[in-house]
Amino acid sequence: MQRNGWRILPLTENIGQRATVYLENRALSDGMRLADALIAASAVESGAVLLTGNERHYKCVPGLALDRFEPT
């Protein structure tokens, strides 16, 4: 699904499972929270590059492609 040029991804069982693994592995050591885990898992599962202004929340996620967002 697309809206205003942005791709909207459905929350799938695979995304939920991957997010759970991220939380189990990263919540204490890196401070990852549920929303960040779901966002990262969605990007990895769909093969998308995650555009973010806060790379430190996601740099601990293996296999996640990041691109820095810098508002103009």
Please state the domain count of the chain: 1
Residue 16 belongs to a domain with what CATH number?
3.40.50.1010
Please state, in angstroms and rounded to a whole number, the distance separating the CA atoms of residues 41 and 6. 17
Q: What mean pLDDT do residues 31-52 have? A: 94
What's this model's pTM, rounded to 2 decimal places? 0.86
Closest of 26, 34, 35, 27 to residue 61, by C-alpha:
26
- Read off the pLDDT of residues 42-53 as tens digits, 9 standing for 90 and up: 999 999 999 999
Question: Which residues form the domain of 64?
Answer: 2-68
Q: Is the pLDDT of residue 72 over 80?
A: no
Q: What mean pLDDT do residues 15-33 have? A: 91
Closest of 12, 10, 7 to residue 48, by C-alpha:
7
